[in-house]
A = this chain, B = another copy of it.
Amino acid sequence: MSRFLTPTLESLQPYTPGEQPQDQPYIKLNTNENPYPPSPWVTEALNADETGRLRLYPDPACQNLLQAAATRYGLDPAQIMPGNGSDENLFFALRAFCDETHPVAYADVTYGCYKVWAGLMHIPSHVIPLEEDFTLDPVKYCALGETIIIANPNAPTGLALPRADIEMILRENPDNVVIVDEAYVDFGAESCVPLIRQYDNLLVVQTFSKSRSLAGARLGLAMGSEALIADLNRVKFSLNPYNINRLTLLAGAAALRDEEYFRRSCAAVAGTREWTARRLKELGFALTESRANFVFARTPRMEGGRLYRALRERGVLVRHFDAPRIADWLRITIGTPEQMSKLIETLEAIFAEEGPDHA
A216 & B55 in contact (Cβ 8 Å cutoff): yes
CB proximity of A281 to chain B, nearest CB, Å: 28
The interface centre, meaning the residue of A14, A20, A55, A88 with most chain B CB atoms within 10 A of its CB, is A55
For this chain, the copies found in one complex come to 2
Asked if B242 and A2 make an inter-chain contact with CB atoms under 8 angstroms apart, the answer reads no
Q: How far is the CA of A301 from the CA of B230 in the complex (A)?
A: 41
Name the one of B117, B231, B241 contacting A238, with C-beta atoms under 8 angstroms: B117
Interface of A is mostly: loop
Cα A99 to Cα B120 in complex, Å, equals 12
- Please determine whether A38 and B20 come into contact, CB atoms closer than 8 angstroms: no
- A80 sits at the interface (CB 8 A): no
B12 touches A234 (CB 8 A): yes
Q: Which residue of B lies closest to A32 (CB)?
A: B57
CA distance A117 to B236 in the complex (A): 11
Known A87-B242, A217-B246; judge A231-B37 contact (CB<8 A).
no
A54 in the interface, Cβ–Cβ < 8 Å? Answer: yes
Q: With a CB–CB cut-off of 8 A, which chain B residues contact A217?
A: 54, 245-247
* CB proximity of A84 to chain B, nearest CB, Å: 6
Tell me the bound Cα distance from A242 to B95 in angstroms: 19
A53 at the interface (CB under 8 A from B): yes
A126 CA / B347 CA spacing, docked (Å): 62
Q: A14-B237, A16-B237, A120-B235 are in contact. List 18 more A-B contacts (CB 8 A).
A: A1-B227, A2-B225, A2-B228, A2-B230, A4-B97, A6-B98, A20-B57, A20-B59, A28-B56, A31-B57, A33-B56, A35-B55, A37-B51, A37-B54, A43-B51, A56-B216, A85-B242, A218-B245
